[in-house]
Structure 1
């Protein structure tokens, strides 16, 4: 479910980009992903584990970085795989109300 939800976010972002020029989210480069995972493994995980064992932190703190990376990958996949149907670009403009409109 988490993967499909973030893929839908990416898909929506692609549609907004094509229709309205909204900036796409940058894909997470492999080097950045690896650096983040290494930092998590060597620094964040041990610190969060100690806090959890001592009752000073929640268990979720131990997996925040891998979850962020997983979600970013899913969002990126959604952006890459999405393609707006051609008829979706044929949008009608909404009428602009005038002062004498009810």
Structure 2
């Protein structure tokens, strides 16, 4: 089983949300369908712009917590290193 740390965004350089999950596909669908009430639904964070695979749930959670403490510029740089066009990476999961 794989675990993931991910960032969803409202748009290019828009609002960002960082999370972790054991099912990146179903979690992204929940963000897109606004099934999660709260921050991501309120601010329209549904575009999967970055993700990283981890061997354990704990490793994904630790990485999530570290990224959440980063300043915005660092998060933008992380996204743009692997996804300079801010494409929605959801389709790449299949």
Please give the TM-score of this superposition, normalised by the length of structure 2. 0.24
More helix by share: 1
Please give the TM-score of this superposition, normalised by the length of structure 1. 0.23
Structure of larger gyration radius? 1
Q: Which has the higher contact order (CA 8 A, sep 6+)?
A: 1
More strand by share: 2
